[in-house]
Amino acid sequence: MSKQHRVLEKAGITSRQLILILITAMALVPGYLMLTGSLKTQKDFLNSPWSLPLHPNFDGYKAAWNDQFPTWFRNSLFVTLLAVLLTITMAATAAWGFAHWKWKGRDFVLGVLISLMVVPPVVLLIPLFTLGAKLGWISTFRMLILVYIGLMLPFSIYLLTNFFKAIPVSLTEAAEIDGATDFRTFRSIVLPLSGPPLITLTVVNLLWVWNELLLALVFLQSDDKKTLMVGITGFQSRYSLSIPTIMAGMTIATIPLLVTYLFGQRYFITGLTAGSVKGE
Amino acid sequence: MIKSAPTDYRFTAPRSLGAVFGRLKNTGPLFWIMPAGLCVLLIFGYSIIDLVQQSFKYQGDWVGFENFNLVLTDPLFQTAIFHNFLLLFTVPILATLSFLCAVLLFETRKGMKFYRSAVFLPYILPIPVVGVVFGQLLQLNGALNSALRAMGFESLALDWLGDPGQALWTMSAIIIWKEVGFGTILILARLISLPLETLEAARIDGAGFFRLHLQVTLPQLRSVILFYIINEAIVMVSWVFNYVYVMTNGQGGPGNATVVSELYIYRSAFQNKAPELAATAALLLLMATLIFIVGFFRIQSKANKGALDE
């Protein structure tokens, strides 16, 4: 390699590195402003929004974590955990029904299920709201959880079916010859092998439910039932005179998600590449 | 003495869930699919049938295509659809940026994991949080404009969200900021799984950075990029409600500058109390999405076939 060539290549690597740093900065800037803004006073923020909070001030957090914020947080936690747990259970059994038995029309049903992944929730909103009103289930968690489960099932079943199909038939057949029931085969052979896809689904679905806004907005109308995402959209106008309070609220809302993401990043990426995932 | 006469048999409650299922020997697929199947049928099947019915009725009476007539001639609906159409222009930008980011990350050894996490971070943040934070940054006297003014770009300090001519483009930029991480991760994952031989061969033949990736890498990434494009097209047509709702307090303002079809449906149903019109607009939106769903389905089944052949 000639000297000139090498210099050119070095320059290429450096410039690429610089572009990456620039992209990274752009990706992180709003997060930086949110975090530093939450630790400033209103006056500091207006004077120098970009500076570091040299004298951290936690008044924003105190103000944000007052009245209804803890309730919203609890509601979100409850809805998210229950919806995800039920979804995974139902999806795992259904996927086993798809993967283990060959039956007429199976591929067609799976195909329909896959295409349901892209039906926008707003399309289902009005019929489901009418149904909820008829049942008297508006502003109940069970209605929202039911809708969430229904929306998460297609992708969850799709992902698990693909995984279960890859389990060697010889393993399950051996168990059946030994007289194991279907349930036993599923529990002692299939589930122990399925750790990674189950974690992937849990992470992907946790993030989706936690971030969901439209359905929670419509189905939970009373103030004490609101989820965090619905609550914080109203935060803006309520605390319009205190940006640090707004930023502190946003930071608190992001933390559970960030923890999930940091622990489950690998699984989350697997889930995304396995098919389409709606992040919102 | 007989210890347990047959008549003595009493039904004992099963001790555990396992014992319940233990009694079911050969269950068959229906048993396993039923719970999830019923739920999907209720949420999707029932809803779509009910949606079609509602869109042909007014207060319980059959009105034929009257609702369609009303919705399609409503200037606000036309505006909303036009805005969704404009948002579609972000899709090629997203695909290009994602491809570039993925290639850059692929070529970087040092710190690749850190950069990857950073680029991906916006995608996992909740839209309400993103919306509120950007809403603050992009105020007329917000952080962005104060930085621009400090650097002497006074003329670039626009009223990002307050100017009706600007607001939708600002919204697009935020959507790009958030969605580009998804494409990057998707493309990067495929890139890493490609066989290295062809890349190395091209490199030895002296192909430079740009030629290498445009002529050797890009063709091999066609299906994943296409998948991303369809996915994002669906997002722009029917999943942007959250951005608009959060950033404009549910109004689609300034004026109607950021009204999209989803907000039209939401407002018709819950602010104007006209669920029939909302249902009709939703049905129209579903039909529009159907076009993309067909494309999505074809790629998906192609990929499935490929996976099974392996």
Q: What is the DSSP string of B209-268?
A: HHHIIIIIIHHHTHHHHHHHHHHHHHHHHHS-HHHHHHHTTTS--STTTT--HHHHHHHH
Predicted confidence (pLDDT) per residue in B197-224, tens digit: 888 888 788 777 778 888 888 888 888 8
Q: Indicate if A204 and A218 belong to the same structural domain.
A: yes
Q: Which residue of B has its CA nearest to A144?
A: B43
For residue A46, give the amino acid letter. Answer: L
Q: What is the model's pLDDT at position A16? A: 85
Q: What is the model's pLDDT at position B25? A: 56
Q: What is the model's pLDDT at position B296? A: 67
Interface touch B132/A236, C-beta < 8 Å = yes
Q: What is the model's pLDDT at position B89? A: 94
Interface touch A16/B51, C-beta < 8 Å = no
CATH of the domain at A136: 1.10.3720.10
Residue A174: Cβ within 10 Å count:
13
Q: Indicate if A68 and A171 belong to the same structural domain.
A: yes
State the average pLDDT over residues B245-272.
Answer: 89
Q: What is the model's pLDDT at position B24? A: 54
Q: What is the model's pLDDT at position B157? A: 87
Predicted confidence (pLDDT) per residue in A53-75, tens digit: 888 888 888 888 887 889 999 99
State the average pLDDT over residues B234-257.
Answer: 87
Q: Indicate if A70 and A144 belong to the same structural domain.
A: yes
State the average pLDDT over residues A240-264.
Answer: 87
Q: Chain B residues with CB inside 8 Å of A93's CB?
A: 32-33, 35-36
Q: Report yes or no: B165 and B77 within 8 Å, Cβ to Cβ.
A: no
Q: What is the model's pLDDT at position B195? A: 83
Q: Which residue of A has its CA nearest to B231?
A: A276
Q: Indicate if A135 and A261 belong to the same structural domain.
A: yes
CATH of the domain at B168: 1.10.3720.10
Instruction: Say yes or no: A191 contacts chain B, CB-CB below 8 A.
Output: no
State the average pLDDT over residues A144-169.
Answer: 90
Interface touch B36/A235, C-beta < 8 Å = no
Q: What is the model's pLDDT at position B165? A: 87
Q: Could you tell me if residue B74 is left (phi over 0), alpha (psi between -120 and 50 degrees) or otherwise beta?
A: beta
Within a domain: residue B169?
yes
Q: What is the model's pLDDT at position B205? A: 81
Taking the C-alpha atoms of residue B47 and residue B238, their distance in angstroms, rounded to an integer, is: 17
Within a domain: residue A51?
yes
| B228 or A83, higher pLDDT | A83
Q: Which residue has the tokens 């999209």?
A: B260
Instruction: Say yes or no: A86 contacts chain B, CB-CB below 8 A.
Output: no
Interface touch A115/B143, C-beta < 8 Å = no
For residue A149, give the amino acid letter. Answer: I
Residue B269 has pLDDT above 60, yes or no: yes
Within a domain: residue A251?
yes
DSSP state, residue B12:
P
Name the minimum distance, in Å, from the CA of B132 to any CA of chain A: 7
Question: What does the mean pLDDT of chain B come to?
Answer: 84
Residue B6 has pLDDT above 60, yes or no: no
Residue A279 has pLDDT above 60, yes or no: no
Q: Report yes or no: B294 and A114 within 8 Å, Cβ to Cβ.
A: no
Name the minimum distance, in Å, from the CA of B299 to any CA of chain A: 11
Predicted confidence (pLDDT) per residue in A160-173, tens digit: 988 888 888 878 78
CA contacts within 13 A on the Cβ side of A29: 18
Instruction: Say yes or no: B58 contacts chain A, CB-CB below 8 A.
Output: no
Q: Report yes or no: B182 and A279 within 8 Å, Cβ to Cβ.
A: yes
Interface touch A93/B265, C-beta < 8 Å = no
Name the minimum distance, in Å, from the CA of B50 to any CA of chain A: 6
Within a domain: residue B189?
yes
Q: Indicate if A202 and A179 belong to the same structural domain.
A: yes
- Reported as type and span, the H/E element at residue A202 is helix A195-211
Q: Which of A42, A125, A210, A254 to mutate to test the interface with B (most CBs of B within 10 A)?
A: A125
Residues of chain B with pLDDT > 90, as a percent, come to 35
Q: Indicate if A103 and A176 belong to the same structural domain.
A: yes
Within a domain: residue B13?
no
Residue B5 has pLDDT above 50, yes or no: no
Q: What is the model's pLDDT at position A1? A: 52
Last residue of a domain, one of A16, A37, A57: A57
Q: What is the model's pLDDT at position B230? A: 86
Q: What is the model's pLDDT at position B301? A: 64
Burial (CB count within 10 angstroms: exposed 0-12, middle 13-18, buried 19+), residue A234? middle
Cβ-nearest to B28 among A19, A101, A129:
A101
Within a domain: residue A280?
no
Interface touch A150/B43, C-beta < 8 Å = yes
Predicted confidence (pLDDT) per residue in B171-199, tens digit: 999 999 999 999 998 899 888 888 888 88
Within a domain: residue A279?
no
Q: Indicate if A8 and A112 belong to the same structural domain.
A: no
Residues of chain A with pLDDT > 70, as a percent, come to 96
Predicted confidence (pLDDT) per residue in A25-59, tens digit: 999 999 999 999 899 888 888 888 888 888 888 88
Q: Chain A residues with CB inside 8 Å of B279's CB?
A: 126-127
Instruction: Say yes or no: A221 contacts chain B, CB-CB below 8 A.
Output: no
Instruction: Say yes or no: B96 contacts chain A, CB-CB below 8 A.
Output: no
Residue A146 has pLDDT above 90, yes or no: yes
Q: pLDDT class for A276, splitting at 50, 70, 90? A: very low
Q: pLDDT class for A119, splitting at 50, 70, 90? A: confident
Q: What is the model's pLDDT at position B17? A: 58
Q: Indicate if A133 and A14 belong to the same structural domain.
A: no
Domain limits for position B214: 68-301
Q: Which residue of B has its CA nearest to A205?
A: B124
Interface touch A233/B132, C-beta < 8 Å = yes
Q: Which residue of B has its CA nearest to A221?
A: B270
Q: B230: closest CA among B291, B187, B174, B168? A: B291
Alpha carbon of B120 to those of A64, A271, B61, B179, B189: distances in Å? 28, 14, 50, 9, 13
Q: A101: closest CA among A165, A158, A43? A: A165
Last residue of a domain, one of A18, A33, A57: A57
Cβ-nearest to A24 among B32, B115, B227:
B115
How many domains is chain A built from? 2
Q: Which residue of B has its CA nearest to A270?
A: B189
Pair of tokens at residue B160: 């990002």
Alpha carbon of A171 to those of A99, A193, B179, B252: distances in Å? 14, 11, 41, 56
Within a domain: residue A99?
yes
Interface of A with B in 253-272 (CB under 8 A): 253-254, 257, 261, 265, 268-269, 272
Q: What is the model's pLDDT at position A227? A: 93
Q: What is the model's pLDDT at position B76? A: 93
Q: Which residue has the tokens 């048999």?
A: B9
How many domains is chain B built from? 1
Last residue of a domain, one of A11, A37, A57: A57
Predicted confidence (pLDDT) per residue in B29-75, tens digit: 888 888 999 999 999 999 999 999 999 988 888 888 999 999 899 99
Interface touch B36/A93, C-beta < 8 Å = yes
Name the minimum distance, in Å, from the CA of A144 to any CA of chain B: 11
Q: Indicate if A50 and A75 belong to the same structural domain.
A: no
Within a domain: residue A65?
yes
Cα torsion angle, B15, B17, B18, B21, sign: positive
State the average pLDDT over residues A137-147.
Answer: 93
Domain limits for position A41: 3-57
Instruction: Say yes or no: A103 contacts chain B, CB-CB below 8 A.
Output: yes
Cβ-nearest to A118 among B29, B118, B296:
B296
N-to-C CA span, chain A:
50
Q: Which of A89-98, B18-27, B189-198, B222-231 has the lowest mean pLDDT?
A: B18-27
Interface touch B246/A49, C-beta < 8 Å = no
Q: Chain B residues with CB inside 8 Å of A184's CB?
A: 18, 21-22
Q: What is the model's pLDDT at position B294? A: 78
The SS3 of residue B57 is: strand
State the average pLDDT over residues B3-30.
Answer: 53
Residue B9 has pLDDT above 50, yes or no: no
Within a domain: residue B25?
no
| B277 or B214, higher pLDDT | B277
State the average pLDDT over residues B268-296.
Answer: 87
Interface touch A16/B127, C-beta < 8 Å = no
Interface of B with A in 210-239 (CB under 8 A): 227, 231, 234-235, 237-239
Q: What is the model's pLDDT at position B308? A: 44
Cα torsion angle, A196, A200, B231, B185, sign: negative
Within a domain: residue B202?
yes
Q: How far is CA A130 from the centre of its chain?
A: 27
Residue B95 has pLDDT above 90, yes or no: yes
Q: Indicate if A164 and A80 belong to the same structural domain.
A: yes
Q: Indicate if A169 and A50 belong to the same structural domain.
A: no
Q: Which of A124-138, A155-169, A175-189, B91-105 has the lowest mean pLDDT?
A: A175-189
Q: What is the model's pLDDT at position B309? A: 42
State the average pLDDT over residues A150-155.
Answer: 93
| A244 or A82, higher pLDDT | A82
Q: Indicate if A50 and A110 belong to the same structural domain.
A: no
Residue A214 has pLDDT above 80, yes or no: yes
